[in-house]
Amino acid sequence: MSSAKPAFKRILLKLSGEALMGDDAFGINRVTIVRMAQEIAEINRMGVQVAVVIGGGNIFRGVAGGAVGMDRATADYMGMLATVMNSLALADALDKAGLTARVMSAIGIDQVVEPYVRPKALQYLEEGKVVVFAAGTGNPFFTTDTAAALRGAEIGAEMVLKATKVDGVYTADPKKDPLATRYSEISFDEAISRNLGIMDATAFALCRDQKLPIKVFSIIKNGALKRVVLGEDEGTLVYA
């Protein structure tokens, strides 16, 4: 176990599905997901209780052409199933990294994963297991960002860590504007007034109302997750 003292006891890690692709066009890059599992294992062994919500964009991207013109609710349910696939893949990688992972789904797939039951999820976290919340909120029209905010509030997480391919929130798109600078921290109200689009509006409002801070950082950077949980200046902190 690391001698460094983490800044948090319990966190909700929101992984974008795209972050699992590595350099691939879609799907799951095995090297990438193994590295992420190892980084999660490192902070878990430091004593941090970790829950995870994963998006499904990397899987759904492979069938996006066929979804054109599809009923929105149907497409959203397909997206939920994509998150279940990602959650199973991450749980497998976590198990191989020496952790015990439990996947809990918001929609009933009892032969594949457990149903989401809040007291059971809390028990798993207290036991040191990693809990992976699959299938979003279980409802169409809500994103996995909203699921992360909701589950984070339900389990009493101290922070939602939004892990993407970008190392924080910038004043402008850094790919288009070389003068764009990264915010070290920014308030919810300022982020809204500047229309920064950190999360979808429902998720952002829920985090603000619950005074649940968000840290946006790059999961692509080696060691970034550990630096975040140690309270170092990594990514962008969004606070109430």
Q: What is the per-residue pLDDT across 198-211, written as a single tens digit (0 to 9) for each?
A: 999 999 999 999 99
Q: What is the mean pLDDT of the chain?
A: 92
Domains of the chain: 10-239 (3.40.1160.10)
Determine the average pLDDT of the residues in 13-20.
Answer: 92
Helix (H, G, I), strand (E, B), or coil: what is residue 34?
helix
Nearest to 197, CA basis, from 229, 175, 170 = 170
Over residues 43-91, the pLDDT tens digits come to 999 999 999 999 998 887 655 555 667 888 998 999 999 999 999 999 9
What is the token pair recorded at 215? 């840290």
Amino acid 238: pLDDT: 97
HSE-CB of 20 using CA atoms within 13 angstroms: 29
Known binding positions: 14-17, 56-57, 61, 76, 137-144, 164, 170, 173
Amino acid 63: pLDDT: 59
> For the chain, where are the E strands, in sequence order?
10-15, 49-54, 101-105, 114-115, 130-134, 159-164, 185-187, 214-218, 236-239
Known binding positions for UMP: 56, 76, 137-144
**Residue 108 above 70 pLDDT?**
yes
Band of the pLDDT at 135, cuts 50, 70, 90?
A: very high
Determine the average pLDDT of the residues in 3-22.
Answer: 90
Q: What is the pTM of this model?
A: 0.93
Known binding positions for ATP: 14-17, 57, 61, 164, 170, 173
Please state at what angle helix 144-154 crosses helix 201-209, rounded to 10 degrees: 20
Amino acid 57: pLDDT: 86
